[in-house]
């Protein structure tokens, strides 16, 4: 990007006159601003492609547009290279504690189903896939090439990744969000909205369920409810173990994302601490997975 993000946001061709973008918190893969223009309020997302992390903005914009058509995300009103503009939603960002509430889960599951089943009806143009086991293999290769401080553990990660992939087995493709953090849900007081389509792409539904459960620290009982309600049938031990495998690869992918970012990111962020935090969570999840053998 030739301009700093705030200047770029202010100079977009969409505005009716001079605007003053206000920084909006959150976002490691992009920079966000709130802009008021001609009596309306918008969110601007500034960010170029990040091939290292599989983030391609054409896919993010197409997914956001399809999600709006499916009724689960706000409207994208403008885009140009390195930026897009969507309507601002006044509401409260959810927390992990919010997500774990039964009443909130009842509201979230229809959004996830709509993502999986409705977005493909509206998605236009080429679409990416997000197969987490491939993502992990690629990150491991990049970490090796970059002489990562974790290079001695990378071979072990390959073995684990292969074991997890074998456990998951055959899947049915859906269009998945792939980043179901609490911060990506907003409650406007009447309904929930789902945001941030950076990693969206075709994947297994089970990954989104595992990602939601892992990111928001679900109990085993909540995980059973999630599986039963989504699939509309009783949970088997085999399905529980497949979910556990997907939770592990979700955490392994986040750990490897951070390991690679330690090498390549220019952001002022404590990636080493983030790596260790996610590695600890992964180790605990993998211990649980192994106990289910």
Q: Final residue of a domain: which of 69, 87, 105?
A: 87
CATH number of the domain residue 63 falls in: 3.30.200.20
pLDDT at 79: 96
Q: Which residues, listed in sequence order, are joined to residue 171 by a DSSP beta bridge?
A: none
Instruction: Give the pLDDT band (50/70/90) at residue 27.
Output: low
Burial of 130 (0-12, 13-18, 19+ CB in 10 A): buried
Instruction: Tell how far CA 173 is from the center of its chain.
Output: 17
pLDDT at 247: 98
98 and 82 both lie in a single domain: no
62 and 182 both lie in a single domain: no
78 and 96 both lie in a single domain: no
pLDDT at 20: 96
62 and 138 both lie in a single domain: no
Of all residues in the chain, what percent carry a pLDDT higher than 70? 98
Average model confidence (pLDDT) for the chain? 95
Average pLDDT over residues 164-186: 97
Q: What is the pTM of this model?
A: 0.94
Q: Final residue of a domain: which of 87, 119, 141?
A: 87
- What are the distances in angstroms from CA 242 to CA 199, 235, 238, 245? 22, 11, 6, 5
Of 57, 29, 56, 68, whose CA–CA distance to 195 is shortest? 68
- What are the distances in angstroms from CA 155 to CA 21, 137, 149, 273, 284? 46, 10, 13, 22, 19
pLDDT tens per residue across span 37-92: 999 999 999 999 999 999 999 999 999 999 999 999 999 999 999 999 999 999 99
98 and 234 both lie in a single domain: yes
40 and 172 both lie in a single domain: no
238: how many CB neighbours lie within 10 A of its CB?
Answer: 11
For the cut 90, the answer to whether the pLDDT of residue 15 exceeds it is yes
Q: Final residue of a domain: which of 61, 87, 113?
A: 87
119 and 63 both lie in a single domain: no
Instruction: Give the pLDDT band (50/70/90) at residue 29.
Output: confident
DSSP per residue, 124-162? -S---B--HHHHHHHHHHHHHHTT-TTGGGHHHHHHHHH
16 and 138 both lie in a single domain: no
Three-class secondary structure of residue 43 per DSSP: strand
| Distance of alpha carbon 72 from alpha carbon 74, whole angstroms | 7
Of 114, 80, 103, whose CA–CA distance to 3 is shortest? 80
**Cα Rg for the chain, rounded, in angstroms?**
19
- What are the distances in angstroms from CA 108 to CA 20, 53, 152, 191? 34, 26, 40, 10
205 and 264 both lie in a single domain: yes
| Distance of alpha carbon 211 from alpha carbon 257, whole angstroms | 15
Three-class secondary structure of residue 55 per DSSP: strand
pLDDT tens per residue across span 108-141: 999 999 999 999 999 999 999 999 999 999 999 9
Please count the structural domains in the chain: 2
81 and 109 both lie in a single domain: no
| Contact (Cβ atoms closer than 8 angstroms) between residue 94 and residue 104 | yes
283 and 159 both lie in a single domain: yes
111 and 204 both lie in a single domain: yes
CATH number of the domain residue 163 falls in: 3.90.1200.10
Which domain covers residue 150, as residue numbers? 92-291
Instruction: Give the pLDDT band (50/70/90) at residue 1.
Output: very low
């Amino acid at each position: 990007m030739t301009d700093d993000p705030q200047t770029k946001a202010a100079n977009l061709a969409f505005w009716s006159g001079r605007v003053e973008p206000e920084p909006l918190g959150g976002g490691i893969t992009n920079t966000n601003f709130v802009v008021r223009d001609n009596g309306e309020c918008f969110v601007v997302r500034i960010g170029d492609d990040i091939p290292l992390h599989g983030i391609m903005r054409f896919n993010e914009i197409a997914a956001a547009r399809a999600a709006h058509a499916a009724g689960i995300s706000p409207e994208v009103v403008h885009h140009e290279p390195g930026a897009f503009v969507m309507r601002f939603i006044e509401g409260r960002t959810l927390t992990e504690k919010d997500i774990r509430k039964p009443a909130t889960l009842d509201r979230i599951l229809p959004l996830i189903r709509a993502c999986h089943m409705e977005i493909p009806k509206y998605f236009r143009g080429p679409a990416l896939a997000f197969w987490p086991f491939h993502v992990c293999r690629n990150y491991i290769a990049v970490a090796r090439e970059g002489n990562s401080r974790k290079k001695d553990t990378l071979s072990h990660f390959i073995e684990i990744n292969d074991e997890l992939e074998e456990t998951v087995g055959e899947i049915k493709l859906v269009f998945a969000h792939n980043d179901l953090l609490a911060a990506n849900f907003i409650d406007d007081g009447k309904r929930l909205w789902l945001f941030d389509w950076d990693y969206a792409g075709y994947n297994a539904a089970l990954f989104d369920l595992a990602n939601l459960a892992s990111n928001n620290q679900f109990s085993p009982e909540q995980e059973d409810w999630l599986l039963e309600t989504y699939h509309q049938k009783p949970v088997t031990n085999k399905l529980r173990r497949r979910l556990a495998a997907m939770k592990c690869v979700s955490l392994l992918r986040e750990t490897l994302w951070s390991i690679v970012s330690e090498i390549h990111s220019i952001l002022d962020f404590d990636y080493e601490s983030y790596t260790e935090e996610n590695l600890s969570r992964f180790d605990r999840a993998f211990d649980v997975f192994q106990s289910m053998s």
